[in-house]
Amino acid sequence: MDIEEVKQRAGPREFGPTDDMPEEYRKAATRMIQFHANSEIMGAYIERPFIRQAPSLDRKLAVSAQVQDEIGHGQLLYRAAENLGIKTREQMLDELANGEGKFLNCFHYPLDDWYELPMIMFFVDGAAMRRQATLKRTSWEPYAHAIDKICFEEGFHIKHGESILAELASGTRRDQERLQEAFDKWWPRILQFFGPTDDQSTHSDFSSAVGLKTMGNDALRTAFLNVYLPKAEKYGLEIPDTPAVTFNEDTQRYEVEEDDLDWDEFMQIARNQYPQGKGQIDKRHRTQEAVEWVRDAIENPGAGSAAAD
């Protein structure tokens, strides 16, 4: 197939490993799925410390299960990307550890305390679910199959995040104040989750034309905002003045003032040049180095005993 035929045929789960896809499609799909896989791995990294910091055994177990899920999602996605024949799973993991792999803006920031955890587990995972639900109809079939499992498990993650949010929102006055502080800090980052506006998005047009992407950044952000802003208010959170959010009487929809979002910082993050994000990548690099001996033992069984002889 040439790229024009791909565009004509593009539809839900239309293409798979047995199809002779043009390189332009395979590269675009690899970039998109690798970004998603990297984000799942780095999401697990910022949640992992809360396995120990969680205030009860039940919470510790739930956070542990969620972190395991996120790592599993990453592995599923790396395999879906690997089927495109552009990169191996090992290459993609190495790129992530070396700071070459891209991942979502929200996972460049560390979580400082328990009050910030529902910002990821409820709001960011809620944003992810809005996007991932549309990817069940992506044109690369292995990606869509991975998304089926991911969406099923992410639904539980969101419920867990909402449970933590509800618990803190009904706590002491100080609990409520700290929760609001966390929300003020994370709200702009959450709204940037979907990426730059459609007119500024580098890859959106091509990805949409070949069926990889089925909904634009602007529409996804608006859909999320109109579901999750009322949820935030339900738990007593006040919506920050910046970025400005207004209610459009004509469309009966909430809309965010895009110019109020710090797109310069976002672009710095997108280039993996954000200082805090560099710290997250360094953690990943150190972890990958620490378990290198395990990979060597699996790939070269008996090498250690031979060296001992």
Question: Cβ contacts of residue 238 below 8 Å, gap of 6+?
Answer: 180
Cβ–Cβ < 8 Å for 102, 38: yes
Domain that holds residue 142: 3-308
| Residue with the larger pLDDT of the pair 134 and 289 | 134
Residue 162 has pLDDT above 60, yes or no: yes
- C-alpha span between 179 and 172 (Å, rounded): 11
Find the DSSP H helices in the chain.
3-9, 23-47, 50-53, 57-82, 89-97, 117-118, 125-134, 141-169, 173-191, 204-209, 217-234, 263-270, 275-290, 292-299, 303-308
pLDDT of 304 reads 55
Confidence of residue 303 (pLDDT cuts 50, 70, 90): low
- C-alpha span between 238 and 88 (Å, rounded): 45
Beta bridge partners of 206: none
Which CATH number is 180's domain given? Answer: 1.20.1260.10
- Say whether pTM exceeds 0.95: no
- C-alpha span between 31 and 154 (Å, rounded): 22
* Range from 185-199, 234-248, 277-291, 292-306 carrying the lowest mean pLDDT: 292-306
Residue 309 has pLDDT above 70, yes or no: no
- C-alpha span between 109 and 37 (Å, rounded): 18
pLDDT of 197 reads 83
Question: Dihedral of the CA atoms 83, 24, 193, 260 (nearest 10)?
Answer: 170
Domain count, the chain: 1
Q: What mean pLDDT comes out for the span 224-253?
A: 94
- Residue 17's nearest CA partner among 150, 117, 142, 161 is 142
Q: What is the pLDDT of residues 2-55, one digit of tens each?
A: 999 999 999 999 999 999 999 999 999 999 999 999 999 999 999 999 999 999
Cβ–Cβ < 8 Å for 231, 123: no
DSSP sequence for 181-216: HHHHHHHHHHHTTT-S-GGG-SSHHHHHHTTS--S-
